[in-house]
């Protein structure tokens, strides 16, 4: 695969991830179209020879989807988060999958802990919710919401250079 085609796939990946992050931040929703674009782009990328062992990528993404569906059933993750993370796991595959999941866990844990700390602080410092920079976070904290699309996307952007490294 030539470098121009490789760049187009990388750009599609990055733009899709950024769109999902912005959407989750602004509307607490990751559109299905993002996951569909990521899966379709992966299929094309794999068919053009960008992936060595496609079955390993498919099995890993399927396993992650099955596990995360259980998390969705328990109310721990939203449906958009499950689809988004599973589509990104297709890209990460066995080569970057562990790094991707560890980074997501760190970033997601930091966001969740920050929101929990803010939730506990709001009754004592109500002015925090009036600060423009914290108003949205305060609303999420009060309502027990956590937009995991943001840390999922950050983790994906961190491993993207390794996914698209030209060998």
pLDDT of residue 50: 86
Paired tokens of 95: 């080569």
What mean pLDDT do residues 116-140 have? Answer: 93
Q: Name the pLDDT band for 143 (thresholds 50, 70, 90).
A: very high
Q: Name the pLDDT band for 68 (thresholds 50, 70, 90).
A: very high
Residues 13 and 18: their CA atoms lie apart, in Å, by 9
Give Cα separations from 136 to 67, 96, 115, 121 (angstroms).
30, 32, 11, 15
Q: Looking at the 3D structure of the chain, how many domains does it have?
A: 1
Lowest mean pLDDT among 32-36, 88-92, 129-133, 146-150: 129-133
Residue 138, Cβ neighbours under 10 Å: how many?
20
The range of the structural domain enclosing residue 128 comes to 3-163
Taking alpha carbons only, the member of 70, 101, 91 closest to residue 9 is 91
pTM score: 0.94
Instruction: Tell me what the pLDDT averaged over the chain comes to.
Output: 95
What mean pLDDT do residues 9-14 have? Answer: 98
Judged against a pLDDT cut of 90, whether residue 17 lies above it is answered with: yes
pLDDT of residue 167: 56
Judged against a pLDDT cut of 70, whether residue 82 lies above it is answered with: yes
């Amino acid at each position: 695969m030539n470098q121009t085609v490789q760049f187009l796939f990388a750009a599609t990946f990055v733009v899709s991830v950024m769109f999902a992050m912005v959407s989750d931040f602004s509307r607490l929703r990751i559109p299905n179209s993002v996951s569909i674009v990521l899966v379709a782009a992966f299929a094309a990328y794999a068919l053009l020879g960008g992936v060595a062992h496609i079955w390993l990528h498919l099995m890993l993404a399927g396993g992650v989807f099955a596990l995360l569906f259980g998390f969705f059933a328990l109310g721990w993750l939203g449906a958009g988060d499950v689809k988004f993370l599973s589509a990104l796991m297709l890209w990460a595959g066995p080569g970057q999958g562990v790094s991707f999941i560890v980074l997501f866990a760190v970033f997601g844990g930091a966001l969740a802990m920050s929101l929990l700390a803010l939730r506990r602080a709001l009754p004592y410092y109500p002015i925090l919710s009036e600060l423009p920079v914290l108003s949205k976070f305060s609303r999420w904290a009060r309502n027990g919401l956590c937009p995991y699309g943001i840390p999922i996307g950050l983790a994906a952007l961190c491993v993207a250079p390794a996914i698209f490294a030209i060998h």
